[in-house]
Amino acid sequence: MIAWRCHDAERVGWAPAHADFFTTKDGTLYVITPRWPGEKLVVKDVEVSPDTAVTKLGLAQSIRWDRSGSDVTIHVPALSVDEVPCQYAYVFRITHVK
């Protein structure tokens, strides 16, 4: 299942502008964003565990993240143009979600 979350009411084509898409598989949440999220990406209403880790598909290292209540803030690493693995969508993987 893929769902999208709207950050504002402006519509572009079939999806709202600044929409993030989500899908899950085996306790892992995938956050798909069609734009570079900047320094931080906040994912609302996520129940994490002590074993949760955040990565970005296409990068080897883990990404720093924080939890505030039921929200997860992903601290997006600064990347050069050559380091960005894709230019059309960016996928962040959050493991061990409930």
Examine the pLDDT at 73 and tell me if it is beyond 90: yes
Examine the pLDDT at 8 and tell me if it is beyond 60: no
Examine the pLDDT at 94 and tell me if it is beyond 80: yes
The reported pLDDT for the residue numbered 18 is 61
CA angle, residues 95, 96, 98, in degrees to nearest 5: 125
State the Cα–Cα distance between residues 30 and 2, nearest whole angstrom: 9
Q: Supply the range of the domain harboring residue 19.
A: 3-94
State the Cα–Cα distance between residues 23 and 29, nearest whole angstrom: 6
Digit-coded pLDDT (tens) for 9-39: 344 444 455 678 899 999 999 999 888 888 9
The reported pLDDT for the residue numbered 32 is 92
Digit-coded pLDDT (tens) for 32-72: 988 888 899 999 999 999 999 999 988 888 999 999 999 99
Q: What pTM did the predictor assign?
A: 0.77
Q: For the domain that residue 19 is a member of, what is the CATH number? A: 2.60.40.1180
First to last CA, the chain: 16
Residue 45 φ/ψ region, left for φ over 0, alpha for ψ in the -120 to 50 degree band, beta for the rest? left
Name the domain count of the chain: 1
